[in-house]
A and B are shown apart, each in its own frame.
Chain A
Amino acid sequence: MTAVGTDQRQQLAYVATQAADARLNVEIETEGMTLNIGPQHPATHGTLRLVARLDGEQVVEAEPIMGYLHRGYEKLADVRTYPQVTTLINRIDWLGSFANEVPFILAAEQLMEVEAPPRAAWIRTILFELSRLANISLFLGDMGMQLGAITPVFFAFRDREFVLNQIEAVTGGRFHPNFDRIGGLKDDLPKGWIDETRGVMVKMRNFCDELEDLLLGNEIFEARTRGVGVIPADVALSYGLSGANLRASGVDWDMRRDNPCGLVHDQLDWKVWTHPDGDSFARYWVRLQETREATHMIEQMLDGLPGGPVMAKVPVIIKVPAGEAYVATENPLGVMGYYVVSKGDLGPFRVKIRSASFNNISVTPWVMRGVYVPDVITILASLYFILGDIDR
């Protein structure tokens, strides 16, 4: 032992340094642990596999491993005809199925130079927003469940049924409607549907209020989400995030307002919600506000629904002239786009799908560096992805 001054303060300082050194040594000697989450795990809602390298309770590195649900949409689309492709792409984002069809149909319409009649465009937008409700409402409940509160998910499943009922009444399918056609829609709305939908919108708003009461004011919820998984605006932009994840980072960008190709969002009175924080709480908050905004949008559309046919004149056998088109819309999960290349055949020559979740999940290695293990679950839940949308 080296000489220690008699001064007590000096002695204490020496002890403190020794202790700090010891801690440092211990830290150097800790062994990393690799934690494998998934591919089948309740918290990854789907078949995402996450390999996290841990140092104690902290994540050093996390890597998402995808492909457990790769179904080969792009290749399959090459060998299907145009009406058959919509059946297939329904299943990419399975919670908001109708919204998947819309950009593809719009791209095909652009190539064929047909335009859907106004009534079809309006009903399309209504169904588009209804599928947003069906999608996001499950997130609102699920996020609670991931943090240990199981009631919200029961509420979500209960109230989601009403929306699914309305979708089923029009399209005949709870999940995969396959209702959009090139040049319009398959059918008109059934009788009495408009009034019923108004009632459902009130129910959905009540659901939002309920969750706001349950979760947003809840101390545990706030403690586990505020400041967790902060994504600054520049990082969000550079990783290509879109949808509510981007808006929660304070970027005011919404395809519905900024590029409303083919849909009627520009004729409605609504607001794009953003939050400056960029943390998990912000992402939840933005989605909650958007759900409420969507109910208001649907009500406006129900009021202003124009009359007329729902189908333009298109040939029975659809042949799309040669050309290329890219159309993207603001789907429930973010920007979804289809790049369609046609060579004048019955089916597309090549379809490239840009889906939102793939980009949203790509930020996980960045955002998970240095977080604690329980926060991994919070961040995964708040980023909100759907595996079909990632792997395709």
Chain B
Amino acid sequence: MGLVASGKAPKPLTKLLNLGRKYSIWMYQWGLACCAIEMGAVIGSPRYDVMRLGVIPFPASPRQADLVVISGTVTDKMVPSILRLYQQMPDPKYVISMGSCANCGGPYWDSYSVTKGVDQVIPVDVYVPGCPPRPEALLEGIVLLQERISNEDPAARWRGDPIVVD
């Protein structure tokens, strides 16, 4: 990856790399609450079947994962674990926040124990709204993320530039 790291990768090579990354996302499921069941439907139900999008939903540990789906209510007690497992994931890594709870606190916006949005702790790439979002909504979230990956300049991650999506 010397070429990529120095930011001099020719455009066709970048496209090819992105194509590969886009269709081999290892997804780490972080099921916290009700939304986890809809995520389970996306993975386990033959009607939705996330694997047809090139997403492999069973990495054994966050160290193998490219994508983490935070689905459900994040409580203040849970936050340290989320942060720790996020830090264990290798770069480049992506985060989908699924459901109102993970987006902004949802129905527990005035609760004393719920973190109002997981984006206070880790950076989020795609927000999937809904309470719970339908499985189709999560699928769309994944497709949006794939679009984002395909337009990405991999060198930007090494250079530390902000990622611009067109």
Q: How far is the CA of A39 from the CA of B40 in the complex (A)?
A: 18
| B132 in contact with A175 (CB, 8 Å) | yes
Q: How far is the CA of A95 from the CA of B40 in the complex (A)?
A: 12
Cβ contacts A59-86/B at 8 Å (1 or 0 each): 0000000011111100110010000000
Chain A, Cβ-Cβ closest to B29: A42
| B34 in contact with A388 (CB, 8 Å) | yes
| A67 in contact with B111 (CB, 8 Å) | no
Q: How far is the CA of A39 from the CA of B31 in the complex (A)?
A: 11
Q: Nearest Cβ distance between residue B57 and chain A, in whole angstroms? A: 11
**Which residues of B are found within 8 Å of A40, using beta-carbon distances?**
30, 81, 85
**Which residues of A are found within 8 Å of B132, using beta-carbon distances?**
174-176
| B38 in contact with A71 (CB, 8 Å) | no
Q: Which of A46, A70, A71, A174 is in CB contact (< 8 Å) with B36?
A: A46
| B75 in contact with A70 (CB, 8 Å) | yes
Which residue numbers of A lie inside 8 Å of B, CB to CB? 39-40, 45-47, 67-72, 75-76, 79, 87-88, 91, 94-95, 138, 153-154, 156-158, 160-161, 174-176, 387-388
Partner-binding segment picked from B4-12, B42-50, B145-153: B42-50
B134 at the binding interface (Cβ < 8 Å): yes
B143 at the binding interface (Cβ < 8 Å): no
**Which residues of A are found within 8 Å of B77, using beta-carbon distances?**
67-68, 70
| Supplied contacts A157-B46, A160-B41, 10 more A-B pairs, CB within 8 Å | A45-B31, A47-B78, A69-B32, A69-B72, A72-B111, A91-B34, A95-B37, A154-B44, A160-B45, A175-B132
Q: Nearest Cβ distance between residue A357 and chain B, in whole angstroms? A: 14
**Which residues of A are found within 8 Å of B85, using beta-carbon distances?**
40
Q: How far is the CA of A39 from the CA of B107 in the complex (A)?
A: 23
B120 at the binding interface (Cβ < 8 Å): no
Q: How far is the CA of A348 from the CA of B125 in the complex (A)?
A: 40
Q: How far is the CA of A39 from the CA of B81 in the complex (A)?
A: 8
- In the complex, 30 of the A-B residue pairs with CB atoms within 8 angstroms, ordered by the A residue number, are A39-B78, A40-B81, A45-B31, A46-B33, A47-B32, A67-B77, A69-B32, A69-B73, A71-B73, A72-B108, A72-B113, A76-B108, A76-B110, A76-B111, A87-B107, A88-B107, A91-B33, A153-B44, A154-B44, A157-B41, A157-B45, A157-B46, A158-B46, A161-B41, A161-B45, A161-B47, A174-B38, A175-B38, A176-B132, A388-B34
A-B contact count (CB 8 A): 84
B114 at the binding interface (Cβ < 8 Å): yes
Q: How far is the CA of A378 from the CA of B119 in the complex (A)?
A: 36
B44, B111, B134 pick with most chain A CB within 10 angstroms: B44
Q: Nearest Cβ distance between residue B56 and chain A, in whole angstroms? A: 15
| B110 in contact with A91 (CB, 8 Å) | no
Instruction: From known contacts A40-B30, A40-B85, A154-B44, infer whether A71 and B113 are also in contact, taking CB-CB under 8 Å.
Output: yes
Q: How far is the CA of A76 from the CA of B105 in the complex (A)?
A: 13
Q: How far is the CA of A9 from the CA of B67 in the complex (A)?
A: 67
Within 43-96 of B, Cβ neighbours of A (below 8 Å) are at 44-47, 72-73, 75, 77-78, 81, 85
